[in-house]
Chain A
Amino acid sequence: MEFLQALFEHEFLQRALAGGLLASIGCGVVGSYVVVQRISLLAGAIAHAVLGGMGIAWYFGANPLAGALVAAVIAALIIGWVKLRFAEREDTAISAIWALGMAIGILFISQTPGYSVDLMGYLFGNLLMMSSSDLQLILALDVVILAFTVLFFRQFLAVCFDPEFARVRGLKVERYYLLLLVLVALTVVMLIQVVGLILVIALMTLPAAIAGRFTHSLAAMMGFAVLLGMAFTTGGLAISYAPDLPSGPVIIMLAGIGYLLAALVRRGAR
């Protein structure tokens, strides 16, 4: 109740709520691709490597999110290239990019005068700090993600479902695979503002993984994952508000509990 009342009074809470809801859209759509393709480790590597871009941007006084966007896309393309060309060393290469990105980020941040608490916000997220320009960025990323998903829905489906068959049909599988990874990168940047880069991977995969247990088509999975994401972010925000807890971890706790419950329900139904 306290949360509802505060929601009417405080604009920052309204922005936080809107940010969570909007980010859930791209998150549910791209998260479903990540889950059906089983590339959550890859998504995690992109998320962590992003710190490199943020640190560099920070050091040079640019917007850390712009740095995150550039770093995420570069990391996605490098990882995708490694995966497509050197599949046998994929595991090591992904871990290396994961760690290198973070190392670069920490080095640059350590050399930046006026080491700021905002760093915690990027690591663990802080919905309450959402500015209207952050909101606009999330909205823009949603539009890009949805546009590509609608346009290339059948191509992405074919690449995820059976890439070999897609290749026989003449599809440029590598091109669509890299495009999908770029969408993952955009989603990472969007979710960093909600739960921070360390927890991104959970928010991206848990709602989609739950949705996948109850749906029989990719589109339905995406729709359900979006709704679940909205429920988790809104619920996390509401629960964390009164006791002044960090919202990101509470959101992830909710998603984790939801995942466990779904696993139990599904097992009971069988």
Chain B
Amino acid sequence: MTPSLAFQGVSFGYGDGPDVVENVDLEIGPHELIGLIGPNGGGKSTLLKLAAGLLKPRQGTVQVFGRAPQEARDKIGYVPQFALFPRDFPITVAQAVLLGRLGGGLGLRWSARDRDAADRAINETELAPLADRPLSALSGGELQRVLIARALAAEPRLLLLDEPTSNLDQRAEEDIFALLAKLTDRMAVVLVSHDVGFVTGYVERVACISRTLICHGTSAVTGEVINELYGHPVRAVHHAHHHHPAPQGDT
């Protein structure tokens, strides 16, 4: 079967700079929920952007359902880091979600098909009561659900999320992961987190990235690996659902 997302010998660096990711091989199956974890600046967000087709690898290939990401755009849902999102933009929840339907259409009115898809995404993320609210009136968890709904409006089969739960309280975090787990019956879900501790409690598989793929698997995230990954002991691994403040910002 064609993997949902496949990296083969992928290296990438910005401008003339050194490689931020180096020789990464990784395959993700159609119904997987996988966490890309690693330290800040370790290249996980870069991998996500490579998968979304926002960046092109220096070496190796990135394939989404067997095609280049740029040619598989209709199958990719992308959720940027909500913590960095401008909150004061004059736009309502419903309008923001409709932008997920962006394609060839022109003019002020969205087609009935576009509006139906957006409505489904809004219902699935339980945003219906907030549909006419401006983004500026939302909590962090609500904004995150809007960005997920926008990605879902495109009816993707691969969902890519960048730090989906940083700055969220535990309740909102659990809601997001419950939603993502539900989505895996129709799509692969790849999320990036610098917070190895809580992610391992939710996802089926993790890939540890620090410039290159360091470990890979469900139970392999042992103390030594974490030490190698972060360069120092991380205490959070065993109390998996406990969210603790972690350094912000990412590559």
Partners in one complex: yes
A interface list, Cβ under 8 A from B = 36, 150-155, 157-158, 160-162, 164-171, 212, 215-221
In the assembled complex, which residues on chain B have CB atoms less than 8 Å from the CB atom of A216?
Answer: 90-92, 133-134, 136
B90 and A217 contact, CB distance less than 8 A: yes
Pick 20 A–B contacts, CB within 8 A, sort by A: A150-B108, A152-B106, A153-B107, A155-B102, A157-B99, A160-B89, A161-B89, A165-B80, A168-B53, A168-B73, A169-B73, A169-B103, A170-B70, A170-B73, A170-B102, A171-B102, A216-B133, A216-B134, A217-B90, A217-B134
Chain A: CB-nearest residue to B90 = A221
Number of interface residues of B (CB under 8 A): 31
Complex partner residue of B54 from A151, A168, A171, CB under 8 angstroms: A168
Chain A: CB-nearest residue to B137 = A216
Chain B: CB-nearest residue to A151 = B106
Task: Say how far A223's CB is from chain B's closest CB, in angstroms.
Answer: 12
Within 8 A of A (CB), among B24-55: 52-54
A153 and B108 contact, CB distance less than 8 A: yes
Chain B: CB-nearest residue to A221 = B90
Task: Say how far A226's CB is from chain B's closest CB, in angstroms.
Answer: 15
In the assembled complex, which residues on chain A have CB atoms less than 8 Å from the CB atom of B91?
Answer: 157, 161, 216-218
Chain A: CB-nearest residue to B106 = A151
B154 within 8 A of A: yes
B90 and A215 contact, CB distance less than 8 A: yes
In the assembled complex, which residues on chain B have CB atoms less than 8 Å from the CB atom of A36?
Answer: 89-90
If A165-B80, A167-B54 touch, whether A217 touches B106 (CB-CB below 8 Å) is no
B150 within 8 A of A: yes
Task: List 8 A-B pairs, minimum CB-CB distance, nearest first.
Answer: A216-B134, A168-B78, A169-B102, A170-B73, A168-B52, A221-B90, A158-B99, A158-B102
Task: Say how far A31's CB is from chain B's closest CB, in angstroms.
Answer: 13
Task: Say how far B162's CB is from chain A's closest CB, in angstroms.
Answer: 10
In the assembled complex, which residues on chain A have CB atoms less than 8 Å from the CB atom of B107?
Answer: 150-151, 153-154
A164 and B90 contact, CB distance less than 8 A: no
Chain A: CB-nearest residue to B104 = A170
In the assembled complex, which residues on chain B have CB atoms less than 8 Å from the CB atom of A168?
Answer: 52-54, 73, 76, 78
Q: A155-B102, A218-B91 are in contact. List 11 more A-B contacts (CB 8 A).
A: A154-B107, A154-B110, A155-B106, A158-B102, A166-B99, A168-B52, A168-B54, A170-B102, A170-B103, A216-B133, A218-B90
If A158-B99, A171-B102 touch, whether A212 touches B90 (CB-CB below 8 Å) is yes
Chain A: CB-nearest residue to B133 = A216
Chain A: CB-nearest residue to B94 = A217
Chain B: CB-nearest residue to A167 = B54
Cα–Cα, bound, A73→B128 (Å): 43
In the assembled complex, which residues on chain B have CB atoms less than 8 Å from the CB atom of A155?
Answer: 102, 106
In the assembled complex, which residues on chain A have CB atoms less than 8 Å from the CB atom of B80?
Answer: 162, 164-165
B23 within 8 A of A: no
In the assembled complex, which residues on chain B have CB atoms less than 8 Å from the CB atom of A165?
Answer: 78, 80, 99, 150
Task: Convert B77-110 into 0s and 1s, putting 1 for each residue whose CB lies closer than 8 angstroms to a CB of A.
Answer: 0101000010011111001101110110111101
Complex partner residue of A220 from B52, B53, B90, B96, CB under 8 angstroms: B90
Cα–Cα, bound, A168→B101 (Å): 12
Task: Say how far B47's CB is from chain A's closest CB, in angstroms.
Answer: 15
In the assembled complex, which residues on chain B have CB atoms less than 8 Å from the CB atom of A151?
Answer: 106-107
Task: Say how far B64's CB is from chain A's closest CB, in angstroms.
Answer: 11
B99 and A161 contact, CB distance less than 8 A: yes
Cα–Cα, bound, A160→B89 (Å): 9
If A162-B80, A217-B91, A220-B90 touch, whether A169 touches B106 (CB-CB below 8 Å) is no
If A153-B107, A154-B110 touch, whether A162 touches B99 (CB-CB below 8 Å) is yes
Task: Convert B153-167 into 0s and 1s, putting 1 for each residue whose CB lies closer than 8 angstroms to a CB of A.
Answer: 010000000000000
Within 8 A of A (CB), among B216-249: none
Task: Say how far A254's CB is from chain B's closest CB, in angstroms.
Answer: 23
If A215-B90, A217-B95 touch, whether A164 touches B54 (CB-CB below 8 Å) is yes
In the assembled complex, which residues on chain B have CB atoms less than 8 Å from the CB atom of A221?
Answer: 90
Chain B: CB-nearest residue to A155 = B102
Most buried by B among A151, A154, A160, A219: A154
Task: Say how far B153's CB is from chain A's closest CB, in angstroms.
Answer: 10
Cα–Cα, bound, A171→B105 (Å): 11
In the assembled complex, which residues on chain B have CB atoms less than 8 Å from the CB atom of A158?
Answer: 99, 102
Cα–Cα, bound, A66→B103 (Å): 36
Cα–Cα, bound, A165→B136 (Å): 19
Complex partner residue of B96 from A150, A161, A215, CB under 8 angstroms: A161
